[in-house]
């Protein structure tokens, strides 16, 4: 197991997932398409279901796809760029639904019978797959799921029930009209005893109606990531025995459960182990949208003219404030690319280790243990932390780029609002970032410091040094952890426990979790910088990324004593200096980080923005401008 404080593994694949053979196949299938306007054309459910069917023509079978990092990276990056709502559909269908089936069902189950037919329908795109874990009454808290799957020993079937309205499942489920199936996370009840949360594959509806015992609500809107969502309730829906994605577990002819994987608590962690693949690939999608946003804002800033009295007619990029914003966004997008590569590496290492153990699921990574707020960090602390880091970073980048483009940043045709909505949505989807950070911070505070002499975290004197920020944020994490650890020890000496002990310290735990994710990101960036030779553009982006993050955390850096007030005050000048050094390299940076035009065309990058925008519009009478 990789120690939690070890450096990330070296990047085995530093290629751009948007320029691989797999990406070209996906781009050819999806084609260049602009995000649909509200109320435009067929329903979201119809559009995304049709896209799944087209993708099925080029994607490999589920078990092959779900083991191939290049295919998964390309699928994530391309679909997120084309349409973030389509990406959410792909995550639900391929990563979570088919991923659960492939990961939990044994070869005998998949080889024949009812489950094999269901998998074939999902792989072909005939059926759309979703993942039902969130229960709307306690959304984002997966530690107390209440949907049940009760075993009927006489018919050897499971009966799904939703106890009340609060336990209704919420996901990107379209209204009936297209065939849909779901992996349902439910409490397995055998002979009146609950045996923890297990996954089951249930058909929700076909072209005409819902399945018996299934109720699907009307559509619910989510503005940030427009897709058809709904609530799903189960009212005695019956599932064949083989629709239990049981892994090595079984129920014998006497109705006795045998689960070599562990008890009820371990069952939830095992069910949600599918999150590893999600966290390994979400950073790739986040990095792709951040790159596209930063390059679009940069190009628009080059062409957009200022009409203020200071410099009328000058491009807005001439202003240092705009340089700091859009070049800082470009630097963070570059950093997110490194985070994405690290996440894929860590996941691949875990998969290889699993194969060597003959199919045994990998243990919780990164020293993760029992979770206080969410099961996600207990499944894999480092991957869940990298997901949080990537999504939070993409949210900063896309929001800043949208603001810096004025009204143009809010038009759907320019894509920035869709990318910003994607990042905001995934702050809660796939494991709520704040809950993950709370659990990471709490776990770090409870761990003993590593034995031996402390690592050298003294920063080099020059923020232009590519290792400066990595050392700075490492020192900050260590000091925050030591301070929180001391506060816990003091509270326990005073006899405090539970809520009385932790409640006053939770914000400190969240901040420690956040800084931990920033340290993981900084390690990825520093490793890339030190292996990238003397490339001035890459070195300049690395330096600006570190300075920008240090400015964001200037308060904690000073009150923990990591940097002096004088050093903190010098960071503004350092950022200006770093931007000035990057300006001569803008063209090569934009060319390196921009997505292929065929995937994400946007008027923002055109020198004649107004004409390009008009060209995307249809007149109400059906003509063209």
- In the numeric block, the tokens 């020059």 are attached to 462
498: left (phi over 0), alpha (psi -120 to 50) or beta: left
Return the H-helix or E-strand segment holding 228. none
Give dist(CA 492, CA 514) in Å, integer.
Answer: 25
Judge if 86 and 181 occupy the same domain: no
Q: Is residue 407 part of a domain?
A: no
Phi and psi based region of residue 23 (left: phi greater than 0; alpha: psi -120 to 50; beta: remaining): alpha
| Lowest-confidence pick of 128-142, 152-166, 314-328 | 128-142
Domains in the chain: how many in total? Answer: 2
Q: At what angle do helices 433-446 and 468-493 cross, to 10 degrees?
A: 70
Contact assessment for residue 442 and residue 509, using Cβ atoms and an 8 Å cutoff: yes
Q: To the nearest whole percent, how much of the chain has pLDDT over 70? A: 87
From the number of C-beta atoms within 10 Å of its C-beta (0-12, 13-18, 19+), residue 319 rates as middle
Question: Stretch 238-250: mean pLDDT, rounded?
Answer: 92
Asked if the structure places residue 524 within a domain, the reply is no
Answer whether residue 144 is part of any domain: yes
Closest to 203 in 3D by CA, of 211, 195, 192, 193 = 211
Q: Residues with Cβ < 8 Å from 568, sequence gap 6 or more?
A: 550, 554, 557, 558
Q: How far apart are CA 216 and CA 385, in angstroms?
A: 34
542 close to 529: Cβ distance less than 8 angstroms? yes
360 in a structural domain: no
Query: CA nearest 419: which of 292, 598, 609?
Result: 292
Picking from 58, 92, 123, the residue at the C-terminal end of a domain is 123
148-152 and 180-190 strand pairing: parallel
447 or 286: which carries more pLDDT confidence? 286
Classify residue 505: in a domain, yes or no: no
Helix H, strand E, coil C: the string for 348-406 is HHHHHHHHHCCCCCCCCECCCCCCCCCCHHHHEHHHHHHHHHHHHHHHHHHHHHHHHCH
In this structure, how many other beta carbons lie within 10 angstroms of the beta carbon of residue 258? 10
| Residues 96 and 161 reside in one and the same domain | no
Same domain, 161 and 53: no
**What is the C-alpha separation between 291 and 16, in angstroms, rounded?**
12
DSSP one-letter code for 305: B
State pTM to two decimals. 0.91
**C-alpha span between 242 and 199 (Å, rounded):** 11
487-515 per-position pLDDT tens digit: 999 999 999 999 999 999 999 999 999 99
Three-state secondary structure call for residue 216? strand
- Which range has the worst mean pLDDT, 29-33, 91-95, 407-411? 29-33
Strand pairing partners for 537?
Answer: none
Evaluate whether residue 215 is within a structural domain: yes
Domain-ending residue, one of 226, 246, 266: 246
Mean pLDDT across the stretch 417-446? 93
Q: Assess whether pLDDT exceeds 80 at residue 110.
A: no
Return the ∠ at Cα 253 (arms to 249 and 255), rounded to 5°.
Answer: 70
pLDDT in tens, 516-529: 999 999 999 998 87
On whether both 22 and 77 belong to a single domain, the answer is: yes
pLDDT at 335 over 90: yes
Closest CA to 89 of 101, 80, 100, 102: 80
| Whether 234 and 136 share a structural domain | yes
SS3 466: coil
Q: What are phi and psi of 278, to 5 degrees?
A: -65, -50
Shared domain for 107 and 142, answered yes or no, is no
The per-residue pLDDT for 151 is 97
Buried b (16+ CB within 10 A) or exposed e, 131-159: bbbbbeeeeeebeebebbbbbeeeeebbb
Please give the pLDDT value at position 262. 81
Residue 437 in tokens: 């950070």
209 and 235 belong to one structural domain = yes
Residue 618: pLDDT over 70: no
Q: Is the Cβ–Cβ distance between 135 and 145 less than 8 Å?
A: yes
Same domain membership, residue 109 and residue 154: no
Rg over alpha carbons for the chain, rounded to the nearest Å, is: 25
Contact 548, 574 (CB under 8 A): no
CATH of the domain at 177: 2.40.110.10
Tokens of 76: 């994530």
What's the confidence (pLDDT) of residue 458? Answer: 65
Our separate counts of H helices and E strands in the chain read 24, 10
Give percent above pLDDT 90 in the chain: 65
The 3-state DSSP class for residue 583 equals helix
Mean pLDDT of the chain: 87
109 and 43 share a domain? yes
Question: In this structure, are strands 157-161 and 169-171 parallel, antiparallel, or unpaired?
Answer: unpaired
Among 213, 246, 279, the domain boundary falls at 246
Q: What is the pLDDT of residues 266-323, one digit of tens each?
A: 888 889 889 999 999 999 999 999 999 999 999 999 999 998 888 888 999 999 999 9
Q: Taking CA 540 as the corner, what is the angle to CA 536 and CA 546, rounded to the nearest 5 degrees?
A: 150
Give the separation between CA 80 and CA 267, rounded to whole angstroms: 31
Q: Is the dihedral of CA 528, 387, 35, 23 positive or negative?
A: positive
Distance CA 97, CA 91 (A): 8
Domain extent, residue 46, equals 17-123
Residue 510 CA, distance from chain mean position: 18
Judge whether 314 lies within some domain. no
pLDDT tens per residue, range 549-595: 999 999 999 999 999 999 999 999 999 999 999 999 999 999 999 99
For residue 9, the number of C-alpha atoms closer than 13 Å in the C-beta half-sphere is 18
Residue 377's pLDDT band (cuts 50, 70, 90): confident
CA gap 132, 216 in Å, rounded: 12
Do 241 and 142 lie in one domain? The reply is yes
163, 181: one domain: yes
- Which residues contact residue 106 at a Cβ distance below 8 angstroms, ignoring those fewer than 6 apart? 246, 247, 248
152: part of which helix (H) or strand (E)?
strand 148-152
Give the ranges where 14-112 is alpha helix by DSSP (H).
21-30, 44-56, 62-65, 69-82, 84-90, 99-104, 107-111
Q: Is 13 a residue whose pLDDT tops 60?
A: no
| Bridge pairing between strands 180-190 and 128-132 | parallel
Is residue 517, in this structure, part of any structural domain at all?
no
Q: Do residues 175 and 113 share a domain? A: no
């Amino acid at each position: 197991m990789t120690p939690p404080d070890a450096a990330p593994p070296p990047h085995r694949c530093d290629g751009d997932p948007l320029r691989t053979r797999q990406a070209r196949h996906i781009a050819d299938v999806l084609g260049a398409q602009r995000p649909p306007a509200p109320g435009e054309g067929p329903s979201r459910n119809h559009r995304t279901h049709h896209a799944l069917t087209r993708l099925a023509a080029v994607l490999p079978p589920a078990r092959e796809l779900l083991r191939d990092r290049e295919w998964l990276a390309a699928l994530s990056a391309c679909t997120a760029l084309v349409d973030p709502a389509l990406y959410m559909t792909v995550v639900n269908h391929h990563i979570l639904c088919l991923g659960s089936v492939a990961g939990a069902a044994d070869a005998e189950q998949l080889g024949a019978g009812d489950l094999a037919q269901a998998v074939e329908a999902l792989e072909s795109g005939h059926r759309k797959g979703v993942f039902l874990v969130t229960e709307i009454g306690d959304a984002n808290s997966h530690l107390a799921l209440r949907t049940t799957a009760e075993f009927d020993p006489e018919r050897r079937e499971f009966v799904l029930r939703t106890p009340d309205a609060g336990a209704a499942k919420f996901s990107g489920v379209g209204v009936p009209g297209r065939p849909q199936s779901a992996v349902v996370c439910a409490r397995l009840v055998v002979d009146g005893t609950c045996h923890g949360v297990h996954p089951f594959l249930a058909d929700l509806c076909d072209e005409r109606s819902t399945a018996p015992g299934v109720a699907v609500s009307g559509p619910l809107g989510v503005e940030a990531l427009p897709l058809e969502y709904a609530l799903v309730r189960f009212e005695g829906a019956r599932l064949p025995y083989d629709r239990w994605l049981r892994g090595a577990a079984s129920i014998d002819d006497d109705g006795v459960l045998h689960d070599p994987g562990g008890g009820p608590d371990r069952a939830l962690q095992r069910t949600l182990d599918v999150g590893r693949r999600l966290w390994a690939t979400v950073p790739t999608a986040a990095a792709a949208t951040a790159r596209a946003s930063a390059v679009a804002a940069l190009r628009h800033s080059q062409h957009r003219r200022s009409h203020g009295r200071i410099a009328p007619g000058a491009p807005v990029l001439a202003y240092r404030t705009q340089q700091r914003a859009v070049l800082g966004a470009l630097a963070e997008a570059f950093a997110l690319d490194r985070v994405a590569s690290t996440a894929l590496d860590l996941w691949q290492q875990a998969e290889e280790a699993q194969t060597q153990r003959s199919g045994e699921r990998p243990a919780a990574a990164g020293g993760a243990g029992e979770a206080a707020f969410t099961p996600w960090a207990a499944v894999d602390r480092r991957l869940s932390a990298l997901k949080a880091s990537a999504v939070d970073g993409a949210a900063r980048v896309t929001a800043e780029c949208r603001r810096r483009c004025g009204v143009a940043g809010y038009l759907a045709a320019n894509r920035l609002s869709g990318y910003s909505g994607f990042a905001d949505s995934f702050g809660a989807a796939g494991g709520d970032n704040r809950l993950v950070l709370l659990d990471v911070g709490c776990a770090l505070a409870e761990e003993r410091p590593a034995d031996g002499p402390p690592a050298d975290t003294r920063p080099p004197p020059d923020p232009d040094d590519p290792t400066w920020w990595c050392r700075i944020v490492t020192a900050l994490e260590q000091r925050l952890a030591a301070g929180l650890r001391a506060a816990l020890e003091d509270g326990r000496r005073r006899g405090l426990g539970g809520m009385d002990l932790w409640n006053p310290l939770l914000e400190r735990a969240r901040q420690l979790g956040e800084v931990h994710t920033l340290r993981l990101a900084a390690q990825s960036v520093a490793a890339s910088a030190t292996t990238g030779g003397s490339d001035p553009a890459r070195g300049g982006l690395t330096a600006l990324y570190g300075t920008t993050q240090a400015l964001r955390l200037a308060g904690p850096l000073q009150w923990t004593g990591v940097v002096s007030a004088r050093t903190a005050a010098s960071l503004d000048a350092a950022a200006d200096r770093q931007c000035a050094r990057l300006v001569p390299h803008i063209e090569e940076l934009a060319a390196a980080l921009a997505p292929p035009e065929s995937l994400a065309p946007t008027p923002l990058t055109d020198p004649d923005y107004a004409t390009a925008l008009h060209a995307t519009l249809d007149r109400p009478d059906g003509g063209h401008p």
